[in-house]
Amino acid sequence: MGTAFKYLERRQMTAFQLETKLKAKGFEPEEIEETLLKLKSWNYVNDDNYAREYCRIKSDKYSRMFIRFELLKSGIDKEIVELVLNQMYSEEKELENCKRIACQIFSEEANKWEKKYKNQKTYQNIPREILLKKKTGEKLLKKGYNYSIVKRVCEFIN
C-alpha cells in the first residue's frame, strides 16, 4: 500500500497504470488487487476523474483522436473515454482548436520560409502558400486531427 501511495503522491494514475507499476515492483496479484480495491473505495484511484482531467488539460493542444488513443492506452474503459470526450470536447471545440493551432503553425512556417526555404533551389518552384499549407497540414495530422478537418482548416488559413 505504501508503494502505491508513493506513486499516487507524484501524479494521478489510472488503475491499469498503478497495477502495471506494482507488478513491475514484484508485488503479488492478490496484494495488488486488494490495494486497488481500497484505493478505489477511498477515491484515490478513479479512472473517470483521470479521464476528465486529462481531457481538460490536453484538449487545447490535441485532437479528440489523440486524446482517445492516450486514454485507451492508459487502460481506461472505452465507454468512459467516449462519455468524457462527448461531454468535455465537442467536435465544434476540436474544429476551433484546429483553426487556432493551424494559424500558429502557419505563422511559424512563414517565418521559416523567410529564413530557410526562400533561397533554397529545391523550394523555388513551389509557391510559398502551397508549401506553408502543406507543412501546416502535416503538423496538424501528426497531432491527430482528422484529414477532413485539416483539409477544411487549411483552405481558410493565410
Percent of the chain with pLDDT over 90: 78
116 secondary structure, DSSP code: I
> 13: how many CB neighbours lie within 10 A of its CB?
21
Contacts 24+ apart (CB under 8 A), 135-144: 135/105, 135/109, 136/102, 136/105, 136/106, 136/109, 139/105, 140/98, 140/101, 140/102, 140/105, 143/61, 143/62, 143/63, 143/66, 143/101, 144/62, 144/63, 144/64, 144/65, 144/66, 144/67, 144/69
pLDDT, position 84: 96
Percent of the chain with pLDDT over 70: 99
Residues in the chain: 158
Q: Are 62 and 85 in contact (CB under 8 A)?
A: no
pLDDT digits (tens, 9 = 90+) for 50-77: 999 999 999 998 999 999 999 999 999 9
Question: For the chain, what are the domain ranges?
Answer: 2-88, 91-156
Residue 120 has pLDDT above 80, yes or no: no
pLDDT digits (tens, 9 = 90+) for 134-146: 999 999 999 999 9
